[in-house]
């Protein structure tokens, strides 16, 4: 009898130890990494002037999508779009203040759907735009956000301030400190924007903390026997452009390369295509300031190499914990970013540099039907709105019926697949919308006050607007039809609740 009991307990122990592996084989894990304001200044997007070895590492194991586009070049609307699988005109989120739960109640987000399907879900950093619009426990089993440690240069200044005015945490002293802080140094200017080395170590930055928290979860396995859906929100290179000192040293300002902007471009383009964000960066339109441009470019590139190192920490943890072979990894950005091209800075514009994003997806061999060929790449057109249906298909999770994206699994199996006919991106100007479609060769944009047409094969920097050239009338008409078709698919009547 005792022998039989020992055999039973031994078998039970073996079965228990196998349960996580069995569960893992049944459902793959997902690691979703989304960067903030990251343009295509990464090695996997063909930009040769930067060091991004973690991007390269993931690309060597997966597939790089070279023509991936956001649906709205601003954080809030873009994230609401790809996290809910809806185009912005259907999500109802067309600014950074709207909450999809208000404008489109009961819409199910990507992490919520995975949680409902039995996944353990965890997030760090900026995944949804901010805490006000984050769905919280409906979507996440755990959700954490961090802040940078205080910069060493600030500590003595703060201590002196508190000696004179009292603690900065409350009351009048808090308001005085808030007003005084941006005047201390370029690093303290926030959205103005600030920039510069911080004097902090990687792990003292919020993105360093984000990466290490994901690593801790991978090691401690709070998911137990469940598969996991972990989202790592990387905050940089969003302003302020702050990073540890060593990353600034990687990019001497005198070595930075860029093409001087020309005002000739704006003679053929509707003024509404512009934004005034260049003013916040300290520029005057039409007036070149190469020294200041180099300051910002150095800081932006330092931020990119810094976050690449943090992504490397996460990828290493996946391998060290034995979960690399059963985890789908997605690495992307919410939208692109202009760094002085066309005298413009920032986002909210319908140009290639604003709308195109890096995208690398690695599907492990354990998913035989769609495992990525290591080191493969695709020139097919894809949209961020396609991520939700792709991941649900790969993980055998039933998607919400209202998803508007298109699964990329065929492209993951076959890098030569053509992808979509066009990618669709919109942006607001007051109460109006600017709307653009990107095909393999052209970009067409329609504004309330004019049109733009570019041949990106011969004019990749979009310097020559062909919309009014008689010899391109046929192409213009074709692109106008494509825009009309794209908008028809992107706009659906909201459900009645």
Low-confidence spans in the chain with pLDDT less than 70: 1-25, 493-497
- Of 138, 69, 81, 87, the closest CA to residue 333 belongs to 69
| Strand ranges inside 334-487, DSSP E | 338-339, 345-346, 356-357, 359-362, 376-383, 423-429, 432-438, 442-447, 450-455
Protein fold of 26-149+200-421: Alkaline Phosphatase, subunit A (3.40.720)
DSSP 8-state class, residue 284: B
Give the pLDDT score at 18: 37
**300: helix, coil or strand?**
helix
pLDDT, one tens digit per residue, over 162-202 is: 999 999 998 899 999 999 999 999 999 999 999 999 999 99
Give the pLDDT score at 494: 55
Give the pLDDT score at 19: 34
Half-sphere exposure of 437 (CA within 13 A, CB side): 21
Give the pLDDT score at 492: 76
Give the pLDDT score at 368: 85
In contact, 83 and 392? CB cutoff 8 Å: no
CA distances from 342 to 47, 272, 328 (A): 19, 14, 38
The C-alpha atoms of residue 191 and residue 205 are separated, in whole angstroms, by 17
For helices 387-394 and 75-84, give the axis angle rounded to 10 degrees: 30
Length of the chain: 497
Q: Which residues contact 26 (CB under 8 A, 6 or more apart)?
A: 227
The C-alpha atoms of residue 457 and residue 379 are separated, in whole angstroms, by 13
Give the pLDDT score at 88: 98
Is the pTM higher than 0.95? no
Domain boundaries, the chain: 26-149+200-421, 151-195
């Amino acid at each position: 009898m005792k022998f039989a009991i020992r055999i039973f307990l031994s078998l039970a122990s073996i079965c228990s130890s196998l349960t996580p592996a069995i569960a893992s084989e049944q459902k793959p894990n997902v690691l979703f990494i989304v960067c903030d304001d990251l343009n295509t200044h990464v090695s996997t997007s063909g930009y040769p002037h930067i060091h991004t070895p973690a991007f390269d590492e993931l690309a060597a194991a997966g597939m790089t999508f070279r023509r991936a586009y956001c649906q709205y070049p601003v954080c809030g609307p873009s994230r609401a779009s790809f996290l809910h699988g809806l185009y912005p005109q259907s999500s109802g989120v067309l600014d950074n203040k709207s909450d999809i739960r208000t404008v489109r109640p009961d819409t199910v987000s990507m992490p919520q759907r995975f949680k409902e399907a039995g996944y353990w879900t965890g997030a760090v950093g900026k995944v949804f735009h901010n805490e006000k619009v984050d769905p919280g426990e409906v979507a996440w089993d755990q959700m954490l956000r961090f802040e940078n440690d205080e910069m060493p240069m600030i500590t003595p200044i703060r201590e002196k301030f508190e000696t004179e005015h009292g603690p900065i945490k409350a009351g009048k002293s808090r308001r005085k400190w808030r007003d005084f802080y941006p005047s201390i140094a370029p690093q303290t200017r926030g959205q103005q924007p600030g920039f510069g080395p911080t004097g902090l170590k990687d792990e003292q930055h919020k993105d360093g903390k984000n990466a290490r928290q994901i690593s801790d979860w991978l090691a401690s396995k709070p998911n137990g026997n469940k598969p996991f859906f972990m989202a790592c929100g990387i905050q940089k290179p969003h302003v302020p452009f702050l990073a540890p000192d060593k990353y600034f040293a990687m990019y001497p300002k005198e070595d930075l390369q860029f093409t001087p902007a020309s005002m000739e471009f704006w003679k053929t383009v509707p003024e509404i295509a512009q934004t005034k964000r260049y003013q916040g960066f300290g520029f005057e339109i039409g007036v070149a300031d190469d020294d200041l441009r180099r300051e910002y470019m150095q800081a932006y590139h330092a931020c990119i190499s810094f976050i690449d190192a943090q992504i490397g920490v996460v990828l290493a943890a996946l391998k060290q914990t034995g979960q690399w072979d059963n985890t789908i990894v997605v690495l992307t950005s919410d939208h692109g970013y202009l760094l002085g091209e066309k005298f413009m800075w920032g986002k909210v514009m319908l140009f290639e540099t604003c709308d195109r994003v890096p995208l690398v997806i690695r599907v492990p061999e354990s998913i035989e039907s769609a495992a990525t060929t290591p080191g493969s790449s695709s020139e097919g057109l894809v949209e961020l709105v396609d991520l939700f249906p792709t991941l649900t298909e790969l993980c055998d999770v039933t998607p919400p019926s209202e998803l508007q994206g298109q699964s990329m699994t065929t492209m993951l199996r076959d890098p030569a697949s053509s992808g979509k006919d066009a990618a669709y991106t919109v942006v607001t100007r007051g109460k109006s919308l600017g709307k653009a479609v990107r095909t393999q060769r052209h970009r067409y944009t329609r504004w309330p006050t004019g049109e733009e047409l570019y041949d990106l094969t011969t004019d990749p920097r979009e310097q020559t607007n062909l919309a009014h050239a008689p010899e391109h009338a046929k192409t213009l008409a074709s692109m106008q039809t494509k825009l009309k078709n794209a908008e028809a698919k992107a706009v659906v009547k909201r459900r009645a609740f």
